[in-house]
Structures are given as C-alpha cells and as structure tokens.
Amino acid sequence: MIADIKSLIKVGIINSNLITTFTGFWLAMYFTGAGFASHWLTFLLTMFGTAFLIAGGCIINNWYDRDIDHIMTRTVSRPTVTGSIPLPVILSMGIGASSIGFIILLFTTIEAALFGAFGWFVYVVLYTMWSKRKYTINTVIGSFSGAVPPLIGWAAVEPGLRLEAIILFLIMFIWQTPHFLALAMKKKEDYKAAGIPMLPVVHGFKMTKRQVVVYVACLLPLPIYLVSLGSIFLTVAFALSIGWLILGLVGFLMKDDYKWAKWMFVYSLNYLTILFLTMVLVTLPVSF
C-alpha cells in the first residue's frame, strides 16, 4: 500500500518541487530581512500545503492517464493499472489532497494559495487533460506548473514578490524543457506506443537536441539578475550552466543518443539541486 501511494503521488516530483519552494521561502526572508525563527509556522504550512497540492495533482494525473499507463513500462505498475486501489478511491484521494493543500496554503497568504491553484490548474487541466496527448508543446505548457513552487514559497513571506522571485520562476520554467526532453528521448518508444506526441517522437532526436541546447543556453544570463547573492553563487551558477551547455553540444557529436539523453537528464537533476542549494548556503548566515 505504501509503495502504491508513493507511486500515485510521485514522490520524486514532490521532493524536487519542495526544494524550490523552500528556496523561494528562504530567499524571501533574506531579501526582506526576516528571520526564520519568526516564520517557522508559516514555513511548515507552506511546505505541507505545497506537498499536498502537488500530490493531489499527481494523483489526478495518474487517474486520468489510466488508459495509457498500461502501455508504458515505467508506469505499468501504478495502482491505476494494477487495480490494487479502486479508481473512485484514487480520484477521491486526488481531490482530497488537492483541497487540503489549497486550504493549508490559505493560512499563509492569499497570493501563495493562488499561485498554488494556478500551478495545479496548469498541470491537471492544461497539461494532463488538454495538451499532453495533442501537442509537442505540452512540455512547455507543463513547465508553467513546475515553475510555480518558488513563487509559492516567496509569496508566503512577501506577497508582493520582486525581481528575484521572477528570476527563480524563469530558471525553473526554462530548466524543465531540457530536463523533460532528455527524459522523453530516453522513453521515446514508450511515448510512441502510447500515442503521446513528445518532440522526439514527432520530430526526431536532431530537432530535440537543438531545442535542448537552445533552452540550456537561455539559462546562462539569468544568474546575473541574482548578483546580490554574491560571487560564490555566480561562479557556481555559471559553471553549472556552461557545463550543461558543453554537454548539450557534445550531443551533436555522439552516436549513442540514448546515452547522451541519460547524461543530460542526470546533469539536469544535479544542476537544479546544486544551484538551489547554493542559493540557500550563500544566504545562510544572514537569513538564519
């Protein structure tokens, strides 16, 4: 049962989004001069609310995709396919978790709750129910939902936001396309069998590689707008972006596209983790 629930809520997605939510929350305290000790309750509400909201969206995503998940190897063991949990129960779990998450976020700020609702709507309705099975641009549409968590964290502390919060949103928005296109290359045959028009399926690997490199290149200038975080952060950020760009360009010379896609996917995870962890570490003495 625990394994089934973890599969439904997509623990990996929740964990990565909570990292960016926490970073948004932390940097908002840093730029407003607030202390963590006076915001610990808001912090807990923000993290739990975001986690429940994302979990609810992922459960509904699984419920909706039940007709194609049995085709793909990476989703064939989900309870929506195996029947280990009744479908009405799964739908109720998704609606319930989503509602709980939204209500919890309302106890932080209205803006944080609205950002959460926007991200949920994009993921569940615009991505899962509308674009995923129709358009190759589905990855870009879904990126809006994945870019929202830093705004939720920031808005819980400072509802008005500021430029730095928008930069966090842009980093997450741009990061997701090369990340998920690399995954789509790795799982091309699964997506093809399920009839999902991912870019590698419709336009092939060459076009996908070009798109990946373009998006990675677009990440390069963004750290400049976070110059107030200091030289250590800028050095790490530029090193990560340049390394990712070089790896992307290497893809045009490699013959094994699947190996390259695996490298790019793993690098993208490390890029996100190291970049956001660095943001927290360089502000640790002040924010704490």
Give the CATH number of the domain where residue 147 resides.
Answer: 1.10.357.140
Single pTM value for the model: 0.95
| Sequential pLDDT tens for the chain (288 residues) | 888 999 999 999 999 999 999 999 999 999 999 888 889 999 999 999 999 999 999 999 999 999 998 898 888 889 999 999 999 999 999 999 999 999 999 999 999 999 999 999 999 999 999 999 999 999 999 999 999 999 999 999 999 889 999 999 999 999 999 999 999 999 999 999 999 999 999 999 999 999 999 999 999 999 999 999 999 999 999 999 999 999 999 999 999 999 999 999 999 999 999 999 999 999 987 655
According to the model, what pLDDT value does residue 60 have? 98
Residues 6+ apart with CB under 8 A from 111: 155, 159, 161
**208, 181 Cβ separation under 8 angstroms:** yes
Predicted confidence at residue 288, as pLDDT, reads 57
Two tokens at 203?
A: 């336009």
Are 78 and 8 in contact by the 8 Å Cβ rule? The answer is: yes
With left for phi above 0 and alpha for psi between -120 and 50, is residue 135 left, alpha or beta? beta
For residue 33, count CB atoms less than 10 angstroms from its CB and return exposed for 0-12, middle for 13-18, buried for 19 or more.
exposed
Q: From the centroid of its chain, how far is CA 248?
A: 20
What is the spatial distance between Cα 165 and Cα 115, in angstroms, rounded to a whole number?
13
Assess contact for 226 and 167: CB atoms under 8 A.
yes
- Give which of 142, 226, 139, 229 is closest to 187, Cα–Cα: 139
What is the extent of the structural domain holding 187?
Answer: 2-287
Q: Domain count of the chain?
A: 1
Residue whose token pair is 């990855």: 139
